[in-house]
Amino acid sequence: MVSISGMTFAPSDPSVVACPTFREIFEANARFVWRSLLSLGISENDVPDASQQVFVTLSNKLGRLAADCSIRTFAYGICLRVAADFRNRAHLRREHLCAVLPEPQAAASQEGLLSQREALRRLRQALDQIEPVQRDVFVLYEIEELPMAEVAQAVGCPLQTAYSRLHAARRAVAALLGEPTGDVG
């Protein structure tokens, strides 16, 4: 089956590469979109709505997906725009963006989990403070582990620029977390 802009056809030649349905695209990328939005500074309160907006926009834009662009890269481009929209509205919803994580009700045996959660909170704070163009590269490469070529494509910059942004982001994040910047260069 081949889907062209949502129309699903069944060519007689079975060698035609199958295109995923939108539901398959959703299932394959929902966690990625959710996680990316969190890393892009969207609060946990807003992530469900932002994720919904990403997928609604994605459904509209699939027809413009270039042949050499992966759906994940394309989706991340939409994540960037949606996250920017949410951040632009931050002055209206500051209380959400600055919301602290719920006070943990944990036993001592969960100390490691709490430590990890605290580390994540600090990382997100650091990502909020660095240059957005550096943060985008850092998130895609260090958290989502996309190849640098795809990272550059997703953020729309030359490959060497992406490398530069990554190194700058690493140093900035390490400094904000009080880590030796020499370890991350």
Partner 1 sequence: MMTSPDPVRLRSRLGGTSSLGRALQAAQAAGPDDKQLQALEQDVFAYLGATAAVVTAALVKAAPASTAGVTTWLSTGSAKLVLAALVTSAAIGGGTGLVLHQTRATAPRENRGLPATATKPMRPSIAPMGTPPTEPAAIAMPVESPPDQPAPAMTPSPDKAKAAAPSRNRRAGTGSAAGDDEFPLLNRAHRALPRDPAGALALAEEHRRRFPGSSLDQERELIAITALVDLGRMAEARRKADQFARQYPASAYVGRIHTLVNSQTK
Q: Does 16 bind partner 1 (CB under 8 A)?
A: yes
Calpha distance 33→140 (Å, rounded): 11
One-letter identity of residue 15: S
Residue closest to 31 by CA, chosen among 51, 46, 45: 51
- The span of 53-61, 98-106, 128-136 binding partner 1 (CB under 8 A) equals 53-61
Query: Minimal distance in Å, beta carbon 131 to partner 1?
Result: 18
* SS3 (DSSP) at 44: coil
- The span of 2-10, 102-110, 128-136 binding partner 1 (CB under 8 A) equals 2-10
- Applying CB under 8 A, among 24, 95, 111, 131 the residue interacting with partner 1 is 24
- The span of 19-27, 103-111, 128-136 binding partner 1 (CB under 8 A) equals 19-27
User: Which residues, including other chains, have CB under 8 Å from residue 43's CB and lie 6 or more apart?
Assistant: 96, 97, 99
Calpha distance 124→127 (Å, rounded): 5
Site string for partner 1, 74-93 (x = CB under 8 A): ---xx--xx--x--------
